[in-house]
Chains A and B, each alone.
Chain A
Amino acid sequence: MPELDADAGRLTFKLVYYGPAQSGKTTNLMRLHDLLAPELKGEMMTLETQGDRTLFFDLLPLGFRSPSGLLVKLRLFTVPGQVAHDGTRKAVLSRSDGVVFVADSQRTEETNNAESFRNLAENSGRVGIDFERLPLVVQFNKRDLPAVVGEDEVRDRWAGASWPLTFTAALTGEGVRETFALLLVAVYRRYGAELELESRHGLGEAAFVAGIMGP
């Protein structure tokens, strides 16, 4: 549940980029930092890394003010993808309000994707997130590489699932904004009414998305 601090006039959403190791979670955040132009955009905070592997998390804060003056703040996190860091992954995932699952499109990574997705579902349960209702977008990244699973095949395989699918190349930034926009829509639809965003703060779905994406 998003954190509403009435005294400070601030509403904070926690969004998490989840997925197998080296699928491009940090790259997604770096591109978003470059591509988005909200009213408020913080620096991207990267904690310790080992080579180019995330050890703890990356954090990108974004924000804008609603017509009512409410500061809508989004904190985008990445998790460490390596299997060994499950405790850290679980801690970062806890209290999150939406997830982008970043899968590696390469055919050789199919097993890792499946395992990581199962891990997401399991960890959601462990940290008290209702996985069935969690706003979630599934992103198939690295479409710029040659040996990737075909789009039709991926769509076929995920036909039974209700989550939106996107196909991206985070390295070039292709589809990164679109993925994020889909997550924002899902987040708004999940919590908007409960938080009275429209009725109380004059913030409709389109304005919510536009506020974060920027012009």
Chain B
Amino acid sequence: MSEAFDRDYTLAELLPERVLESVGPALARLLDADLAVLDAAGNALWGRAPETAARAPLALELEPIGWLAAAVPAESLRAAAALLRQLFLARVRYLMAGSLHKESVAADYAALLEKHAALEASEARYKLLAEELEQRVAAQVELLDTRARQLYQAEKLASVGQLAAGVAHEINNPIGFVRSNISALGRYFDKWRGLKERIGAAAWTELDMDFVLDDCADIVKESLAGIDRVARIVADLKGFSNVDRPDEEFVDLNVNLEEVSGVVRSQLPAGIELKLDLHELPRILCLPGHLNQVLFNVMRNAVQAVQDAGRGGTVTVSSRGDGAGIAIAVADNGVGMAAEQAARVFEPFYTTRIVGQGTGLGMTVAKDIVQAHDGRITISSVPGAGTTVTIFLPT
């Protein structure tokens, strides 16, 4: 606090030596006597005074901060002291104003720093807010993207469902009477064998009727098998597209796996085998049509991966359930993927296929749907050895 403007000032501070050196002799000349300026304790700051000298106090505020000593009449001494006092009063005003100015500048500067710090803090807050807003916008955009894909998917499923329902309806009726007609035709062919005795063995042999009728039986049998296959595909398609089902229901996913693999199997290229390794599963509440789409997309990709390898191969679909949930793995021994490719599999519109063959949405949609079921979908792949996609759905 020694620098405070309202500190105690000493006479030595107010009347420094250089001031006294010019003021002292002038005063001495005026008084026409030796004089001394003493500090509060009586030590001489300047000059000399005889032992007999009188002392006049030099007061700053209330008490003396020094003395003027000279052997002159009291009145003269007081007058000289008053003169000297005016000198150091001017000096003390100057010092006080100077110190106060310094203090107030420091205070103003401190206030400025405070304000500056507050401004910086608010700037930082705005920056943070801007970043946060950016993140929120990005999140919103992503959400919109997801919603758009889900909408697209839902529309697609709906149109597939309508198509499947229409096809099922249109095909089931004709296929029913075609089947019953061909069954009847088979029975009629059997009756034709009785003609052999009526038209005679010569004509019978000439017409090679034994062979014709045997072949007819085979044709009927094959036709019936074909019709049954068509009927099964129609049934699978119906199941796959979730036609005639409520949106959300408790299902045994193994049934879905069988339906979907039926659809996939119907388009299976030669040399590729689709194997199911299903274990008992807890029933879960889900959107079966949507999950079918997931399973179909993943299985189709697996088949394509094997096809791309240009050799025979196997796609193995397995299911396992425990207390936590259901794990479905689709493993192929196809071409596999490099790590950077595998990392981008779930990106929208990422595809390695030529334009027109893939939209690059299959796995993205699969991930959206699995996540909508609070599940996870992961992919692991070894280039040249194959890929395994694992779907986990919590119960």
Q: Do A and B bind?
A: yes
Interface, chain A (partner B; CB < 8 A) = 10, 14, 40-42, 45, 47-48, 56-57, 59, 61-63, 71, 73, 75, 77, 85-92, 94-95, 126
Query: Is A92 touching B97 in the complex (CB atoms < 8 A)?
Result: no
Contacts A/B (CB < 8 Å), 25 sampled: A40-B63, A42-B61, A45-B61, A45-B89, A45-B93, A47-B93, A56-B97, A57-B100, A59-B6, A59-B61, A61-B61, A75-B6, A77-B6, A86-B107, A87-B103, A87-B105, A87-B107, A87-B111, A88-B103, A90-B107, A91-B100, A91-B103, A91-B107, A92-B6, A95-B6
Cβ–Cβ < 8 Å partners of A56 in chain B: 96-97, 100-101
| B352 is an interface residue with CB less than 8 A from chain A | no
Tally A-B pairs: CB < 8 A.
Answer: 67
Q: How far is the CB of A138 from chain B (nearest CB, A)?
A: 24
Whole-angstrom CA separation of A89 from B101 in the bound complex = 11
Interface, chain B (partner A; CB < 8 A) = 1, 4-6, 59, 61-63, 89, 93, 96-97, 100-101, 103-108, 111
Whole-angstrom CA separation of A144 from B106 in the bound complex = 39
Query: Is A47 touching B62 in the complex (CB atoms < 8 A)?
Result: no
Q: How far is the CB of A36 from chain B (nearest CB, A)?
A: 13
Cβ–Cβ < 8 Å partners of A10 in chain B: 63
Cβ–Cβ < 8 Å partners of B97 in chain A: 47-48, 56
Given contacts A56-B96, A91-B103, 20 further A-B contacts (CB under 8 A): A10-B63, A40-B63, A45-B89, A45-B93, A56-B100, A59-B6, A71-B63, A75-B61, A86-B111, A87-B106, A87-B111, A88-B103, A88-B104, A91-B5, A91-B100, A91-B104, A91-B107, A92-B6, A94-B103, A95-B4
Query: Is A40 touching B62 in the complex (CB atoms < 8 A)?
Result: yes
Whole-angstrom CA separation of A41 from B100 in the bound complex = 24
Query: Is B100 touching A14 in the complex (CB atoms < 8 A)?
Result: no
Q: Which residue of B lies closest to A45 (CB)?
A: B93
With A42-B62, A61-B61, A95-B1 given, is the CB distance from A47 to B108 under 8 Å? no
Whole-angstrom CA separation of A99 from B105 in the bound complex = 23
Cβ–Cβ < 8 Å partners of A126 in chain B: 107
Whole-angstrom CA separation of A48 from B93 in the bound complex = 9
Whole-angstrom CA separation of A95 from B96 in the bound complex = 15
Cβ–Cβ < 8 Å partners of A42 in chain B: 59, 61-62
Q: How far is the CB of B58 from chain A (nearest CB, A)?
A: 13
User: Of B59, B61, B89, B104, which contacts A85 at CB under 8 A?
Assistant: B104
Cβ–Cβ < 8 Å partners of A71 in chain B: 62-63
Query: Is B6 touching A87 in the complex (CB atoms < 8 A)?
Result: no
Cβ–Cβ < 8 Å partners of A92 in chain B: 5-6, 100
Whole-angstrom CA separation of A215 from B237 in the bound complex = 116
Q: Which residue of A lies closest to B5 (CB)?
A: A91
Cβ–Cβ < 8 Å partners of B59 in chain A: 42
Q: Which residue of A lies closest to B104 (CB)?
A: A87
Whole-angstrom CA separation of A73 from B101 in the bound complex = 25
Query: Is B1 touching A88 in the complex (CB atoms < 8 A)?
Result: no
Q: How far is the CB of A11 from chain B (nearest CB, A)?
A: 12
Q: How far is the CB of B367 from chain A (nearest CB, A)?
A: 58
Whole-angstrom CA separation of A89 from B107 in the bound complex = 10
Q: How far is the CB of B4 from chain A (nearest CB, A)?
A: 7
Query: Is B108 touching A87 in the complex (CB atoms < 8 A)?
Result: yes
Cβ–Cβ < 8 Å partners of A63 in chain B: 62-63
Q: Which residue of B lies closest to A63 (CB)?
A: B62
Whole-angstrom CA separation of A89 from B100 in the bound complex = 10
For B89, B103, B106, the residue with the greatest tally of chain A CB atoms inside 10 Å of its CB is B103
Whole-angstrom CA separation of A45 from B105 in the bound complex = 22
With A75-B6, A95-B4 given, is the CB distance from A90 to B104 under 8 Å? yes
Query: Is A73 touching B100 in the complex (CB atoms < 8 A)?
Result: no
For B5, B89, B105, B106, the residue with the greatest tally of chain A CB atoms inside 10 Å of its CB is B5
For B61, B93, B104, the residue with the greatest tally of chain A CB atoms inside 10 Å of its CB is B61
Cβ–Cβ < 8 Å partners of B101 in chain A: 56, 88
Cβ–Cβ < 8 Å partners of A45 in chain B: 61, 89, 93
Q: How far is the CB of B239 from chain A (nearest CB, A)?
A: 78
Query: Is B4 touching A88 in the complex (CB atoms < 8 A)?
Result: no
Whole-angstrom CA separation of A85 from B63 in the bound complex = 31
Whole-angstrom CA separation of A91 from B99 in the bound complex = 10
A-B pairs with lowest CB-CB distance, top 8: A87-B104, A91-B103, A61-B61, A87-B108, A87-B107, A88-B104, A42-B61, A40-B62
Q: How far is the CB of B64 from chain A (nearest CB, A)?
A: 11
Whole-angstrom CA separation of A126 from B110 in the bound complex = 10
Query: Is B100 touching A88 in the complex (CB atoms < 8 A)?
Result: yes
Query: Is B108 touching A73 in the complex (CB atoms < 8 A)?
Result: no
Q: Which residue of B lies closest to A77 (CB)?
A: B6
For A59, A71, A91, A126, the residue with the greatest tally of chain B CB atoms inside 10 Å of its CB is A91
Q: How far is the CB of B132 from chain A (nearest CB, A)?
A: 33
Whole-angstrom CA separation of A77 from B89 in the bound complex = 17
Q: Which residue of B lies closest to A91 (CB)?
A: B103
Q: How far is the CB of A204 from chain B (nearest CB, A)?
A: 22
For B6, B97, B108, B111, the residue with the greatest tally of chain A CB atoms inside 10 Å of its CB is B6
Q: Which residue of B lies closest to A41 (CB)?
A: B62
Whole-angstrom CA separation of A10 from B5 in the bound complex = 19
Query: Is B62 touching A73 in the complex (CB atoms < 8 A)?
Result: yes
Whole-angstrom CA separation of A61 from B96 in the bound complex = 15
Q: How far is the CB of B5 from chain A (nearest CB, A)?
A: 7
Whole-angstrom CA separation of A75 from B5 in the bound complex = 13
Whole-angstrom CA separation of A73 from B61 in the bound complex = 10
Whole-angstrom CA separation of A71 from B105 in the bound complex = 34
Cβ–Cβ < 8 Å partners of B1 in chain A: 95
Q: How far is the CB of B309 from chain A (nearest CB, A)?
A: 79
